[in-house]
Amino acid sequence: MPAEERKAISDYRVIYGDTDQMGVAYYANYLRWFEIGRTELLRQIGMPYTAIEKKGLRFPVIEVSCRYYRPSRYDDVIAIETTLTSLGRATLTFSYRLLRKEDGELIASGSTRHACVDDKGEVAKIPPDLEAVLKAAVSSKS
């Protein structure tokens, strides 16, 4: 799979409820936008999160990083670029770049690391069928 196909791009328009008293998007909303990108990437590679849940598995966030470069404001359209950058036996890491579509300005970047857990919340090895799909989607570029 070429590197370009490994990146999911999702658009999100900042709503008024995303902004704080200063008129900029509240910092924690960026983590929700990461989730939008991650969900769309999984869907794009043929493994929507609902299919993962049907296997009795979940991918809770165990670590998050976000660096803010520029503010986003009400009605900005944000392009969420998401890549799967690493895959372990029971972990996976996604990287994100958030760009303002109007001018291409990088507004934030970050990553999330996830554990694979079963329906009891116990750490579980990623099963071979799911691992194969995810391994094919891992990008060496972030």
Interval 113-122 mean pLDDT: 97
Sorted by sequence, the CB contacts under 8 Å of residue 52 that are 6+ apart come out as 42, 58, 59, 130
Average pLDDT over residues 80-89: 97
Q: Which residues are catalytic?
A: 20
Give the integer Cα–Cα distance in Å for 71 and 108: 9
Look at residue 1 and tell me whether its pLDDT is greater than 70: no
Please report the pLDDT score of residue 2 as a whole number. 44
What's residue 82's pLDDT?
98
Task: Give CA torsion, residues 50, 40, 130, 66, to 10 deg.
Answer: -110
Q: Is the pLDDT of residue 140 over 80?
A: no
Domains annotated on the chain, with CATH? 3-137 (3.10.129.10)
Contact at 8 Å (CB) between 71 and 78?
A: no
Q: Once rounded to an integer, what is the mean pLDDT over residues 65-90?
A: 97
DSSP lists the bridge partners of residue 109 as 67, 97
| Residue 18 reports pLDDT greater than 50 | yes
Percentage of residues of the chain with pLDDT beyond 70: 94
Provide the pLDDT for residue 141: 53
Tell me the pTM. Answer: 0.91
Mean pLDDT for the chain?
Answer: 93
